[in-house]
């Protein structure tokens, strides 16, 4: 504009422009188009959508709508085949017939009907007719809206599971009553006896010595040498500071703690570890990993395949000379699988608990002696597990306790695999009179927000323990406390488990596996 003003003052024709002026005009036009598209798109979409109200109700949403008391609040949004869906005005029998014959997709019932409970009932009946079996699990008494897009797809009912209470658990000067969801007889009773023995001896203490969830993508290079170059880059302290900033952008709770790399030929497995607040944290660390991979793509001037976290490892390479980043799990985490890396390095919360059981309590409550318990623990939990080649299984039945508490408090039951890594130690102290017992569990994966923790029953169990939701004063403290409760309850279970039989075995053993 200044140049045009000068042309006017100097009587120079306006249409006579040089290259720089031409570029300025093009840039101004491009900026104007961008601003119109950016601020005008919402207006255009609203105008278009107002003319398509009749079509919209046939569509389903890509993300779950808000729900309350089994009712979907938001209006239904689009699905792939609008013509195949049945309007909510149809009666249940018509909708069931449509699902059975395949005209209405079963997965779309919630968004089409706007009623999660009704959708579940229709799906259950349709499944019964398709399978030819009179299969009707319990339906009423459950808030299906609470699981929509959160916990379970295509619900047809729910499974009833009893919850028992073990306690009081005396831990670090506090009392806890621990909910355990199980169908195994004697499990809660056994844990209760262990609680009694330790409570009468003054309680137990715990230390959480590590807290970090992990995720490990794999990067494949054309040569092993190039893979090693990235390994050296990631392990350089100056580069780590930059990567930490990039990683931490994913969440206000995510904080990168460390990066460990392992080479397998031309494949580089990168194990990220980060704190995750009160969440178990798999999604949180995955987002941080994606940020780092995006940064590495630009930093190394490499091309990365367009892939989501759910991309399978069988994806095809577009250019074999380029490195390929698989943002998903490369199994070096390692999640839901027994792995030495979790046993050694830890994953989630790493906890050790200990207690001293007085001699008279061992005799009165556990019906055995200190020396018998020490010897049996060595023969069974330590030597027996070593003979079996156990990986993190140097205990009596930690997985029993872990799974029962996980189900009761809304954790992922499959993570019982690594969360049950545990070694039980027993030794005589105070001149052989008393028993010192300790439990070390390096990879307890728990959270108090997200996933199944928001379900009514599981939320109530967390509330009973005093760890429901997030702790705003000290983020992460609720999840850490839950991890110590899990570990200490395993100590109770181990103590009671080996107590019915002294060594050598008694005539009528029970509760010993």
Question: Are 347 and 333 a contacting pair, CB within 8 Å?
Answer: yes
Please provide the DSSP assignment of 300-356 as one string.
TT-------TT--TTPPPS-TTS-EEE-S--SSS--SS--HHHHHH--EEEEEEEEE
Question: Would you state the structure tokens that stand for residue 455, as one six-digit string?
Answer: 């379900």
Q: What is the pLDDT along the chain (513 residues), one digit of tens a residue?
A: 666 566 656 566 666 667 777 777 777 777 777 666 655 544 434 433 333 333 333 233 334 455 555 655 544 444 444 444 446 678 899 999 999 999 999 999 999 899 999 999 999 999 999 999 988 899 999 999 999 988 999 999 999 999 999 999 999 999 999 999 999 999 999 999 999 999 999 999 999 999 999 999 998 888 899 889 889 989 888 889 999 999 999 888 899 999 999 999 999 999 999 999 999 999 999 999 999 988 887 765 443 333 333 333 323 233 345 666 665 688 999 999 999 999 999 999 999 999 999 999 999 999 999 999 999 999 999 999 999 999 999 999 999 999 999 999 999 999 999 999 999 999 999 999 999 999 999 999 999 999 999 999 999 999 999 999 999 889 999 999 999 999 999 998 888 888 765 445 444 444 433
Pick the CATH number of 163-210+350-498 from 3.40.50.11540, 3.30.1330.40, 3.90.770.10, 3.30.420.280: 3.90.770.10
Beta-carbon contacts of 227 under 8 Å, excluding residues fewer than 6 positions away, are 219, 220, 221, 263, 265, 266, 267, 268, 323
Helix or strand or coil: residue 133?
coil
First-last CA distance in the chain: 88
| CATH T-level topology, domain 217-302+323-329 | Alpha-Beta Plaits (3.30.70)
What are the sequence ranges of the domains in the chain? 92-147, 163-210+350-498, 217-302+323-329
Strands 324-326 and 218-220: antiparallel
* CB-facing half-sphere around the CA of 235: CA atoms within 13 A: 14
């Amino acid at each position: 504009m200044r140049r045009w003003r000068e042309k006017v003052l100097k009587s120079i024709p306006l249409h006579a422009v040089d290259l720089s002026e031409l570029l300025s005009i093009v840039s101004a036009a491009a900026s104007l188009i961008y601003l119109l598209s950016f601020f005008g798109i919402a207006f255009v979409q609203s105008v278009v959508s107002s003319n398509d109200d009749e079509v919209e109700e046939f569509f389903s949403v890509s993300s779950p709508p808000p729900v309350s008391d089994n009712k979907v609040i938001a209006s239904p949004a689009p699905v792939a085949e609008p013509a195949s869906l049945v309007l909510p005005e149809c009666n249940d029998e018509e909708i069931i017939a449509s699902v059975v014959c395949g005209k209405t997709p079963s997965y779309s019932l919630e968004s089409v009907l706007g009623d999660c409970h009704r959708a579940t009932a229709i799906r259950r009946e349709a499944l019964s007719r398709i399978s030819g079996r009179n299969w009707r699990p319990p339906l009423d008494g459950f808030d299906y809206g609470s699981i929509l897009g959160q916990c379970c797809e295509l619900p047809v009912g729910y499974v009833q599971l009893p919850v028992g209470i073990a306690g009081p658990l005396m831990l670090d000067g506090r009392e806890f009553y621990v909910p355990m969801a199980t169908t195994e007889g004697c499990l809660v009773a056994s844990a209760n006896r262990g609680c009694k023995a330790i409570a009468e001896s003054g309680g137990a203490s715990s230390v959480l010595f590590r807290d970090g969830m992990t995720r490990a993508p794999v990067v494949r290079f054309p040569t092993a040498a190039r893979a090693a170059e990235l390994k050296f880059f990631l392990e350089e302290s100056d580069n780590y500071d930059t990567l930490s900033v990039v990683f931490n952008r994913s969440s206000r709770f995510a904080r990168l703690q460390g990066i460990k790399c392992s080479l397998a030929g031309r494949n580089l497995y990168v194990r990220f570890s980060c704190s995750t607040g009160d969440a178990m944290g798999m999604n949180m660390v995955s987002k941080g990993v994606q940020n780092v991979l995006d940064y590495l793509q630009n930093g190394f001037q490499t091309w990365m395949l367009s892939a989501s976290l759910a991309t399978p490892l069988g994806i095809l390479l577009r250019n074999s000379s380029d490195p390929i980043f698989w943002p998903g799990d490369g199994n070096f985490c390692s999640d839901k699988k027994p792995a030495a890396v979790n046993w050694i390095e830890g994953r989630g919360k790493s906890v050790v608990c200990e207690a001293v059981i007085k001699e008279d309590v061992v005799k009165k409550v556990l019906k055995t002696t200190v020396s018998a318990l020490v010897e049996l623990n060595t023969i069974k939990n330590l030597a027996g597990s070593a003979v079996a080649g156990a990986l993190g299984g140097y205990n009596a039945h930690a997985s029993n306790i872990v799974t029962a508490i996980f189900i009761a408090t809304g954790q992922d039951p499959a993570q019982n695999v690594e969360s049950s890594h545990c070694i039980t130690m027993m030794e005589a102290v105070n001149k052989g009179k008393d028993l010192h017992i300790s439990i070390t569990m390096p990879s307890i994966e728990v959270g108090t927000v997200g996933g199944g923790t928001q379900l009514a029953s599981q939320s109530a169990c967390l509330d009973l323990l005093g760890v429901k939701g997030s702790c705003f004063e000290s983020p992460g403290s609720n999840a850490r406390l839950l991890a110590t409760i899990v570990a200490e309850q395993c100590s109770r279970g181990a103590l009671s488990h080996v107590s019915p039989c002294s060594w050598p075995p008694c005539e009528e053993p029970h509760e010993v596996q």
